[in-house]
Amino acid sequence: MVLMVSTKADIIARLRRDILPLGGFRSAGHGHDVIDLGPINQAFPDGAFPLGAIHEFISSGIEDTAATSGFILGIISRLAQKGGLTLWISDSRTLFPPALLLFGVQPDNIIFLDLERELDCLWAAEEALKSEGLAAVVCEVQNLSFTASRRLQLAVEGSGITGFIFRKNPRKLTPTASIAQWKITSLPSETAEDMPGVGFPRWQVNLTKVRNGKPGSWQFEFAGKNFRPLPTLRAVPQQLQKKAV
Partner 1 sequence: MTKRFVAIWFRYLKTDWYIRRIPGLAKTAFVLSLPDHGRMVVTAINAIAQQRGIYAGMSVADARAIFPALHVLDDKPGHADTILKGLADWCIRYTPCVAVDMPEGLVLDATGCAHLWGGEKNYLQDITMRLQHLGYQVRVSMAGTIGAAWALSRFGEPLAIIEPGGEKDALSPLPAAALRLQAATLERLQKLGLRQVGDFMEMPPSALRRRFGEAMLQRLDQALGTEEEHLQPVVPVEDHQVRLPCMEPILTRAGIEIALQTLLENLCARLKTEGKGLRTAVFKCFRVDGKIMSIDIGTSRATTNVTHLFKLFETKLDTIEPALGIELFLLEASKTDDVSPVQKNIWEKNAGLQNTALFELLDRLGGKFGMHRLHRYLPDEHYWPERSIKPATSLSEQLTTAWKVERPRPQQLLARPEPIQVTAPIPDYPPMLFRYKGKLHTVKKADGPERIEQEWWLQEGQHRDYYTVEDEEGNRYWLFRLGHYDADKTPGWFLHGFFA
| Of 208, 234, 242, nearest in space to 38 by CA | 234
**Is 191 near partner 1 (CB under 8 A)?**
yes
Binding partner 1 by CB under 8 A: which of 1, 18, 172, 188?
A: 188
- 5-13, 23-31, 44-52, 180-188 -> range binding partner 1 (CB under 8 A): 180-188
**Is 186 near partner 1 (CB under 8 A)?**
yes
Please check whether residue 118 is in contact with residue 141, taking contact to mean a CB–CB distance below 8 angstroms.
yes
| Of 168, 185, 199, 210, nearest in space to 42 by CA | 210
Residues 19-48 that bind partner 1 (CB under 8 A): none
Neighbours of 217 (CB within 10 A): 21
> In terms of CB distance, is 56 or 64 closer to partner 1?
64
- Least distance in Å: CB of 118 to partner 1? 13
| Of 80, 126, 88, nearest in space to 106 by CA | 80
Task: Spell out, one character per residue from 86 to 105, where the chain touches partner 1: x when CB under 8 A holds, - when not.
Answer: -x------xxxxxxxxxx--
Neighbours of 185 (CB within 10 A): 15
- Least distance in Å: CB of 189 to partner 1? 6
| Of 222, 162, 149, 217, nearest in space to 184 by CA | 217
Residues 45-74 that bind partner 1 (CB under 8 A): 62-63, 65-67, 69-71, 73
Distances (CA, A) of 3 to 6, 7, 8, 10, 155: 5, 8, 10, 10, 36
> In terms of CB distance, is 151 or 176 closer to partner 1?
151
**Is 11 near partner 1 (CB under 8 A)?**
no
Neighbours of 12 (CB within 10 A): 10
Binding residues for partner 1, rule: CB under 8 A, are 62-63, 65-67, 69-71, 73, 80, 82-85, 87, 94-103, 106-108, 110-115, 120, 123-124, 127-128, 131-135, 185-189, 191, 196-199, 201-203, 222
